[in-house]
Each structure stands twice: as structure tokens, then as C-alpha cells.
Amino acid sequence: MLPNRSRLSVLIFLVPPLLLYGVAVLLPIVQSLFLSFFSWDGISDMEFVGLTNYIHMFTGDTVFWHAFSNSLGYLVICLVLQLGGALIVASLLTSLRRGRNIVKTLYLLPAVISTVAIAFLFQRIYSIDPVGLLNQILGWVGLGNLERAWLSDINSVLAAVSIPEGWRFTGLYMLIIFAALLSVPQELEEAARLDGASRWQVFTKIRFPHIRPVWITTTIMATTYALRGFDIPYLLTNGGPGQSSELLTTYMYKTAFTSTNYGYASTMSVFIVVECLVAVGLIIFTLRRKDEA
Amino acid sequence: MTTQTAPVTRSIVTSPITRGARRRRRKPSVFRTLSTALIVVIVIVQVYPLAWLFLTSLRTEHDYASGNPFALPSSITFDNYARAFATGNLGMNIVNSFIVTMGANLLIVLLGMMAAYALQVLGFRFSKFVRGLFLIGIIVPVQIALVPLFIDYASVNLLDTYQSMIIPLAGFSLPMSIYLFSSFFEYIPRETYEAASLDGAGPYRIFGLITLPLSINTVVTVVMVNSIFIWNDFIFANTFVLSEGLKTIPLGLQNYIGAMGKVDWTATFAAVCITITPLLLVFLILNKAMIYGLESGGSKG
């Protein structure tokens, strides 16, 4: 604490940021909570309906549950691609002597591309007429019978909209994990190697425990980002065909701005926030516990 | 912890052998060759879609519609770029994205630095509580703000303005910026501040003459990291902006498909290439700063 500070100076530095944050983030959270107890189309009078929206969401709305399970599928695919891919590439990269920076830069490249551009790109990768990259590869390796229009097949569409999101950010998590792996003391690894530990044992007994705090952070980042995923499914399929790639976020967006049902959309956004908080709690709980054991 | 401390002591004893072992491993081992090959393959898979995007933007339409997608273009043409500029409003979209990115970054840097200064350097009784409040913004998804802000903007006539995009973009990026600045301010030695205080400098002069000039590197980091997300923002722009004249790059690109009815893919890909160039250039030039920022943003959390 500075000796010469006054209460006024603290306020002068603190109030402007709090004001912006309050208007853009805190107030909307409170408003959403408030709106979730009302029925409102934006034009006629607001009507207080109590818990009706919540009861409808949990018991009466099959689309909601469908979207919820799709969101979980989307989350799993993103986590496997982003964290699994990041961990593998980061581990391989530590054994490389030269060219680390170029690999880092190239691997991060997709993260600077806008989601609209990515949606265009993947629309063509998945396309069947003219033959897109994916179907062409399948044809070459003799899996031609798997060729399909990936975005209009209800069995493949969820995976097809999740993969671009996983691809986009895996470089970001790779960077973070790689930086953590570099901080593992070399002496530890070499000593273990001399004692006859295999590469796998070195990884599970020394490297991974050492990077666990960073692993928790990246897991939280990747999970909360995947749960708010919206752009790519919205742009690629808009939730279709049918509801087979509808996520909670796209369903909520349509409820708000296509059906202008602000009350019910707010109920869903409250649910999404609670879902994120629960997910973060669960991650900290499970990963920390292992640490203590 | 116990499993980790034991080998340390042993490694001190065996250090000469370790050095020998390190020299031995410098020979190309099977493992290293394999992992190098694997990395090369992974990087090619990761980057190929972008290379393909660029190659397609140079193809003739006929070549695109009939050819093998992996083949190199049979002839290179820049017609697609001409058509991309003729149909869309790319120049204006880029200017709009630039204005929004600059505006949001200005707020994020200035306000983030001020909040971090109040929290980290000045200190006050409820600073823990305020920190917690800002932490919420990192976890909460942006979608929660869409409906309330739409309603609020409508009542104060802010819909369809630059501010309608800048406010939520800056608001949601503020916590990460405060966090990065706070962790940097920790490294400025207390003595610097105490000496300045003894010389009679108040909190404002210390902020302007010590904290601000020392933080330039952190400012670059914060700007780089946030610019990726703000430049590419789709959801706020798509929700709050309606008029053609305010559309940012993501919206302008999306327009492409609608405007042409039957999609002119090679021209669309040319447009995509044009719009990703500014950020890509900045990224390639400043990628050290950006990579450093992304690494420290995650690993200190």
C-alpha cells in the first residue's frame, strides 16, 4: 500500500473500470436473472410468471434437453482435441532441438482466423459436390463408402461442427502446456531416467504432476470456452438439420432473437451460467483431490 | 511432493554421469526422429486448410468446380480478388473492425491498468471482494449479456452504433487485462514507490511517471491477446448492428454469401484472404509478444 494514498485516489482509479464492468457484465447478469421470471416479447407488457419458465425448461421442453446433450457432446470433442492434442504436441515438442518457434507459430495460426472465415472453409472441406478435402481423402484411402455430406447427415453433423472449434484453439493450449513442461526441472527427469524409468513413467510420475496446476487452468479455460461455443455451429448449420447440432447457446439465441421470447431465453442463459460455474467447481474439485491423495 | 524431492538429492551425486548421458543422447535416437516426423505431420494437417484456402482464392472458377481439391491450381488468376472487391464492401468493413478494435483496446488498457493499480499498488479494505467480482467475468459466458444489453441499448438509443459493440467487448476482456497488469505490477519493487512517496509524489504522479512507463511491454501483450478476439468478434456485432455502414469484417464476410445468391466460392475465399491479412501480418511480426502473452496468461492463473 502506498503511504500517501487517500480514499479519494483509490476511488478515482477504481470507479471507471467498475462502471464499465458493471454496465457490460454485472448488470446484464442481474437483469437476466430478473427477466427469467417473466414472460415478455419485447413489445407488450411484461408478465410475472414466477418459476413457469424454469418448470417448462426442465420438464416440458424436449428441444432444451436435446440441445443440452448436444452441448455435452460438443464439449467432449473440443476437450479431447484441444487438451489431448495440446498435451501430445507439447510433449513431442520438448524433444525437438530446433524449430520450436516455427512449430509454435504455425500451430497457433488458426487462432487468428475469424469464425466466419473458418465456417466458410469447413463448409468446403466437408462438401461432397464439388468433392471437398475430407471426402477426397476418404476416397483415396479406400474408405469411399464413408463419403457423405457431413453437415447434412444427422449422425455426423455434431462432430462436424465441433471439430473446427477444437482445431481453432488447440494451438493456444499447446503453448500454455509447452511453457509449463519447459519449467519441469531437467535434473529430475534425468535422474529418473538413470534409475531406469521409462519415458511413460517419467511422464506420469514427474512431468504431469509438475504441470498439474497449469493443467487445471487450461481445463477450466477449454471447458468454459466450449460451453459458450456458438459461432461455428450457428454459421455452419444453424443447429440443423432438425435439431441435431443445436447447442444450448444457439437455441437460446434463436429463442431470444427469432422468436423474441426474452423471458425464456434469459432462463436459458441463467442455466448456461450455472452450468459453467458447476463445471469449474467440478474441475477444481476432482483435479485438486487427486493432488492431495 | 515427497516423490519429487527424493530424486533431486540423488541427481547431485550423479551429476558427472548425467552430463555423459546427455552427450550420448545427442546422437539421433529413434524416438527423436519419430517425434520430429510426427510433429511435421501434425503441423501440416493443422496448417494445410489455410494453405488450401489461399490456393483456392487463386484458382479459376472452372478449375475449382471440376478439379481435384488437392491439386495445385492449373493457372493462377487474380480475378477473384477483383470480384471480391467489386461485390463487397471490404474496405469499409476493415475500417469498422479497426475502429472497434482500437476503441475497445483503449478502454481495456487504460481501465485495466487503473483497476490493477488500485488493487495491487494502492490497496484497500475490500480489494479481495473486488478481485472476486472481476473473476466472475472470466468464467461467465458472453451470451448472458445479449438479451439484457439489447433491451438496454434499445431504451437509450445505442443500438446500431460502434459503442454497442465496444462496451461489451471491452467489459468482458477487462478481467483478463486487470489480471495481467496486476501480475506485472507485483514485479515493480516496493522501494521504487516508497522512494517516490518520500520525494512527495502522490498516487497520480506515481501512476503517470513510474507505473505507466514501466508497463509498456505488458500493454503490447494485452493489446495483442485481446485484438485476436475483438477483431474476429461475431456474436456482439451480429446482435447489435444492423446497418450496412457499421458492419465489421465477420459480418461483411457473411453478407457475401447472401448477396450473391449462388455462392461465388473463389471470390469469397479471396475476400477471406484479404480480411485475415491485417491481423495475420501483425501476428507474424509480433508473434513473440503474442506467444509470451498467451503463455503467461494461462500459466500464472
Q: Which of residues 194-213 of A touch B (CB under 8 A)?
A: 194-195, 199, 205-206, 209-210
pLDDT bucket at B112, cuts 50 / 70 / 90:
very high
Q: In chain B, pLDDT over 90 holds for what percent of residues?
A: 22
Please state the rounded mean pLDDT for residues B48-53: 86
Q: What is the rounded distance in angstroms from the CA atom of residue B185 to the CA atom of residue B115?
A: 11
Q: Spell out the residues 6+ positions from residue B54 whose beta carbon is closer than 8 angstroms to its own.
A: B273
Helices (H), chain B: 2-13, 15-25, 30-57, 61-66, 79-87, 90-116, 127-139, 146-155, 162-185, 190-198, 203-206, 212-214, 216-231, 235-240, 249-260, 265-285, 287-299
Q: What is the rounded distance in angstroms from the CA atom of residue B254 to the CA atom of residue B263?
A: 11
At B213-243, the pLDDT tens digits run: 888 888 888 888 888 889 989 999 999 998 8
Q: How many DSSP H helices and E strands does chain A contain? A: 15, 2
For residue B48, being part of any structural domain is answered with no
For residue B6, being part of any structural domain is answered with no
Q: Which of A147-161, A260-274, B65-79, B189-203 has the lowest mean pLDDT?
A: B65-79
Q: Is the pLDDT of residue A251 over 80?
A: yes
What is the DSSP pairing of strand A47-48 with strand A38-39? antiparallel
At A199-229, the pLDDT tens digits run: 888 888 888 888 888 898 899 989 988 998 8
Rounded to the nearest angstrom, the gap between the alpha carbon of residue B225 and the centroid of all alpha carbons in its chain is: 3
Residue B158: how many other CB atoms lie within 10 Å: 15
The pLDDT score that the predictor gives to residue B23 is 47
Select the residue from B63, B138, B144 to test the A interface by mutation, using most A Cβ atoms within 10 A.
Answer: B144
Q: Output the nine-digit C-alpha cell for A41.
A: 416479447
- B87: amino acid identity, one letter: T
Q: Spell out the residues 6+ positions from residue A153 whose beta carbon is closer than 8 angstroms to its own.
A: none
Q: In chain B, pLDDT over 70 holds for what percent of residues?
A: 84
Output the domain CATH number for residue B103.
1.10.3720.10
The pLDDT score that the predictor gives to residue B281 is 85
Rounded to the nearest angstrom, the gap between the alpha carbon of residue B58 and the centroid of all alpha carbons in its chain is: 28
pLDDT bucket at B17, cuts 50 / 70 / 90:
very low
Q: Which fold has domain A47-110+161-292?
A: MetI-like fold (1.10.3720)
Distance from CA of A144 to the nearest CA of B (A): 15
The pLDDT score that the predictor gives to residue A73 is 93
Please state the rounded mean pLDDT for residues A39-50: 82
Q: Do A21 and B22 touch (CB under 8 A)?
A: no
Instruction: Name the strand (E) or helix (H) holding A77.
Output: helix A62-79
The pLDDT score that the predictor gives to residue A293 is 47
At B56-81, the pLDDT tens digits run: 888 887 777 776 777 777 777 788 88
Please state the rounded mean pLDDT for residues A182-186: 86
The pLDDT score that the predictor gives to residue B27 is 53
Q: What is the rounded distance in angstroms from the CA atom of residue A222 to the CA atom of residue A216?
A: 10
Helices (H), A129-156: 133-140
Q: Is the pLDDT of residue B13 over 60?
A: no
Peptide bond into B189 cis (omega under 30): no
Nearest residue in A to B10, CA atom: A191
pLDDT bucket at A252, cuts 50 / 70 / 90:
very high
Q: Which of A11-25, A34-48, A91-105, B58-72 tops mean pLDDT?
A: A11-25
Contact B93, B251 (CB under 8 A): yes
Please state the rounded mean pLDDT for residues A53-81: 91
Q: Spell out the residues 6+ positions from residue B286 whose beta carbon is closer than 8 angstroms to its own.
A: B220, B224
Is A31 in the B-facing interface, judged by CB distances under 8 Å? yes
Q: Which of A99-108, A159-168, B292-301 tops mean pLDDT?
A: A159-168
Q: Of B197, B226, B4, which Cα lies nearest the Cα of B112? A: B226
The pLDDT score that the predictor gives to residue A15 is 93
Distance from CA of A50 to the nearest CA of B (A): 19
Q: What is the rounded distance in angstroms from the CA atom of residue B268 to the CA atom of residue B260?
A: 10
Q: Is the pLDDT of residue B3 over 60?
A: no
> Considering its fold, how many domains does chain B have in total?
1
Average pLDDT, chain B: 81
For residue B200, being part of any structural domain is answered with yes
Q: Backbone dihedral region of A238: left (phi > 0), alpha (psi from -120 to 50 degrees) or beta?
A: left
For residue B153, being part of any structural domain is answered with yes
Q: Do A235 and B234 touch (CB under 8 A)?
A: yes
The pLDDT score that the predictor gives to residue A292 is 54
Q: Backbone dihedral region of B144: left (phi > 0), alpha (psi from -120 to 50 degrees) or beta?
A: alpha
Q: Spell out the residues 6+ positions from residue B220 whose beta carbon is closer than 8 angstroms to its own.
A: B286, B289, B293
Q: Is the pLDDT of residue B258 over 60?
A: no
Please state the rounded mean pLDDT for residues A13-17: 93
- Residue A39 β-bridge partners: A47
Q: What is the rounded distance in angstroms from the CA atom of residue B126 to the CA atom of residue B107?
A: 24
The pLDDT score that the predictor gives to residue A21 is 95
Distance from CA of A224 to the nearest CA of B (A): 6
Instruction: Name the strand (E) or helix (H) holding A52.
Output: helix A52-55
Q: Pick the residue with more confidence: B172 or B190?
A: B172
Q: Is the ipTM of this complex over 0.90?
A: no
Q: What is the CA angle B231-B264-B93, rounded to 5?
A: 25
Helices (H), A183-261: 186-194, 199-202, 208-227, 231-236, 248-257
- B300: amino acid identity, one letter: K
At A121-148, the pLDDT tens digits run: 888 888 877 777 888 888 888 777 777 7
Give the nearest partner residue to B140 out of A3, A35, A273, using CB atoms.
A273
SS3 B158: coil
Residue B37: how many other CB atoms lie within 10 Å: 11
Please state the rounded mean pLDDT for residues A17-24: 94
Entry field: residues in chain A: 293
Is A5 in the B-facing interface, judged by CB distances under 8 Å? yes
Q: What Cα–Cα distance (Å) separates residue A135 from each residue in A127, A154, B60, B279?
A: 8, 17, 22, 31
Contact A110, A167 (CB under 8 A): yes
Contact A277, B139 (CB under 8 A): yes
pLDDT bucket at A47, cuts 50 / 70 / 90:
confident
Select the residue from B32, B147, B180 to test the A interface by mutation, using most A Cβ atoms within 10 A.
Answer: B147
Domain that holds residue B259: 86-299
pLDDT bucket at A30, cuts 50 / 70 / 90:
very high
The pLDDT score that the predictor gives to residue A2 is 65
The pLDDT score that the predictor gives to residue A37 is 92
Average pLDDT, chain A: 86
Q: Is the pLDDT of residue B283 over 60?
A: yes
For residue B147, being part of any structural domain is answered with yes
The pLDDT score that the predictor gives to residue B301 is 42
